[in-house]
């Protein structure tokens, strides 16, 4: 299904998202400044969940749209038996991307564009044979995307309007699994789990080969600091997190992790969360909270009961909250930052929830007058 003219215009950003405006009475400016000063002295993190949580469901082969204000599942979009592992949201919050990763015996080849407000699939874009995309991300312009192609060790650049692959880039690694972007969209960072475990730096706007760094066995989870200065890589086959300077492309620090740490999420307020646990590893499973600037662990909490078990976890930071999904248990837990307090289950008995993303949009059924 090709996007309509209106959809294409939205993808291009021709129509900015609607904003709610409220007519307010005129207020004395001095009074406003007084209130601001008082607020700065007593401000505390927000405690209200808002927007839509998008969840990739492994066993269900679908994407769930979960309204955080009401804590109700509003829609479930079927992707198919070639199951997705990840989901990501466009810069304007209007659209989402997921990928047909699939089981080993039936790898996928499509990325799927979703309209969040209508909870509908806009298009399925074929990356070709031997692709098996795991992670798909929007570029900052919202019109293009990149997607890992694990089976061919390439990264695809995709035109979402034309529904086509513009070009591919070799990763220089084996089993390119996760991808993250430099904030300006000029580079992609791809972790490859095979061989020694590597991070590939791919220059999207230049004709040059990737820079490949050996970070550690099973390199998988990664994220980029909001200022673009550092890349953190979790080496799932070992017990380390590699910190890479984005300017020099040197590994500038190696942090100790628990065994089988497979994801990293760095939030905009200087925190990183790292869960550990793998399907092939029976280890005590914890969620660790890091101070990114100091590169120091702040605290950790058990994700289950602290006993060695199998299983892996997805993570997300949004505002003052940290989310941890547990595909084996079918749950999503939510914690309050800055210390992983206020823990509670958000979703129970779900279809193997894995990758998560957040959008300020709400499904139209909730916003219609």
pTM, full prediction = 0.86
**What is the CA angle 57-194-287, rounded to 5?**
50
Q: Any idea what DSSP says for residue 229?
A: S
Query: Are 264 and 232 a contacting pair, CB within 8 Å?
Result: yes
Q: Choose among 187, 144, 192, 151: nearest CA to 171.
A: 192
What is the per-residue pLDDT across 231-258, written as a single tens digit (0 to 9) for each? Answer: 999 999 999 999 999 999 999 999 999 9
Domain boundaries, the chain: 5-13+48-367
Enter the tokens of residue 278. 């793998």
Alpha carbon distances (Å) from 334 to 47, 53, 80, 355, 368: 12, 12, 28, 14, 29
Write down the residue that tokens 């989402």 correspond to. 96
Per-residue model confidence (pLDDT) at position 4: 43
Cα–Cα distance, 237 to 260 (Å, whole number): 6
Classified as helix, coil or strand, 126 is strand
Residue 364, Ramachandran bin (φ over 0: left; ψ between -120 and 50: alpha; else beta): alpha
Of 113-122, 166-175, 271-280, 293-302, least confident by mean pLDDT is: 271-280
pLDDT at position 202 over 70? yes
The number of angstroms, rounded, from the C-alpha of 126 to the middle of its chain's C-alpha atoms is 22
Query: Are 87 and 97 a contacting pair, CB within 8 Å?
Result: yes
Which one is the CATH code of 5-13+48-367: 3.40.190.10, 2.60.40.10, 2.130.10.10, 1.10.150.20?
Answer: 2.130.10.10
Report which of residues 67 and 27 the model is more confident about: 67
């Amino acid at each position: 299904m090709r996007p309509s003219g209106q959809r294409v215009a939205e993808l291009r950003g021709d129509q900015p998202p609607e904003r709610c405006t409220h007519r307010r009475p005129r207020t004395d400016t001095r009074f406003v400044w007084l209130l601001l000063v008082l607020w700065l002295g007593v401000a505390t993190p927000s405690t209200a969940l808002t927007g839509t949580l998008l969840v990739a469901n492994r066993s269900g082969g679908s994407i769930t749209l979960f309204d955080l204000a009401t804590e109700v599942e509003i829609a479930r979009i079927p992707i198919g038996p070639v199951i997705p592992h990840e989901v990501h949201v466009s810069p304007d919050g209007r659209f989402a991307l997921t990928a047909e990763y699939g089981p080993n015996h039936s790898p996928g080849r499509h990325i799927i564009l979703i309209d969040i407000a209508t909870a509908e699939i806009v298009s399925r874009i074929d990356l070709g044979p031997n692709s098996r995309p795991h992670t798909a991300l929007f570029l900052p312009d919202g019109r293009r995307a990149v997607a890992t192609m694990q089976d061919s060790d390439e990264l695809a650049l995709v035109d979402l309007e034309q529904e086509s692959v513009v070009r591919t880039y070799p990763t220089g690694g084996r089993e390119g699994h996760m991808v993250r972007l430099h904030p300006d969209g000029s580079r992609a960072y791809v972790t490859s789990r095979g061989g020694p475990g590597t991070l590939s730096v791919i220059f999207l706007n230049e004709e040059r080969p990737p820079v490949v760094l050996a970070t550690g066995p099973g390199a998988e989870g990664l994220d980029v600091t909001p200022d673009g200065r550092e890349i953190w890589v979790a080496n799932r086959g070992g017990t380390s997190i590699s910190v890479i300077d984005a300017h020099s492309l040197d590994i500038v620090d190696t942090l100790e992790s628990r065994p089988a740490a497979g994801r990293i999420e760095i939030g905009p307020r200087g925190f990183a969360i790292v869960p550990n646990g793998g399907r092939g590893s029976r280890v005590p499973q914890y969620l660790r909270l890091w101070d990114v600037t100091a590169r120091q662990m702040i605290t950790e909490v058990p994700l289950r009961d602290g006993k060695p078990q199998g299983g892996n976890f997805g993570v997300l930071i949004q505002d003052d909250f940290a989310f941890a999904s547990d595909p084996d248990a079918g749950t999503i837990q939510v914690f309050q930052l800055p210390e992983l307090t206020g823990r509670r289950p958000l979703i129970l008995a779900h279809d193997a929830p894995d990758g998560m993303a957040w959008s300020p949009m709400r499904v139209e059924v909730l916003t219609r007058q």
